[in-house]
Structures are given as structure tokens and as C-alpha cells.
Amino acid sequence: EPRVASIVSSRSNREWVVHGKGTGMVLLVDYSDIKNLKTTTIEAAPFLHDGG
């Protein structure tokens, strides 16, 4: 079952970086138009956030 490990906001863009725990995916969520969110998925190590 995927869970959110972290959500971080960008200082320079209207964007959140969302890491799914154990999924191997990082999502970039563009919220410049809050009614029309755009996401970009980036592959990452599956257990990037474990242990700390």
C-alpha cells in the first residue's frame, strides 16, 4: 500500500515534490493553477526514504 513519505515545496516554483514511500516514484506537482494540477513522475530508488 503506497504512502506519502514526504512533501516538500519549491522556493522558486509553484511546485511540490512528493515522495511515495516504497514506491520508487517521486511526483512533481505543479500547483500554479490549483484547479488544474499537473504532475510529472520521476523514477527513484524504491526505498529512498527508509531508515531516516
Q: What is the pLDDT of residue 23?
A: 83
Provide CB contacts within 8 A for 29, sequence distance 6+: 15, 16, 17, 18, 37, 38, 39
In this prediction, residue 50 has a pLDDT band, given cuts at 50, 70 and 90, of low
For residue 50, tell me if it sits in a domain: no
Q: How many domains does the chain have?
A: 1
For residue 8, tell me if it sits in a domain: yes
For residue 29, tell me if it sits in a domain: yes
Q: What is the residue range of 32's domain?
A: 3-43
Beta-strand runs (E) in the chain: 3-9, 15-21, 25-30, 38-43
Cα–Cα distances (Å) from 46 to 11, 24, 31, in that order, read: 26, 4, 25
In this prediction, residue 52 has a pLDDT band, given cuts at 50, 70 and 90, of very low
For residue 51, tell me if it sits in a domain: no
pLDDT, tens digit, for every residue of 10-47?
Answer: 899 999 999 888 788 899 999 999 999 999 999 987 76
For residue 49, tell me if it sits in a domain: no
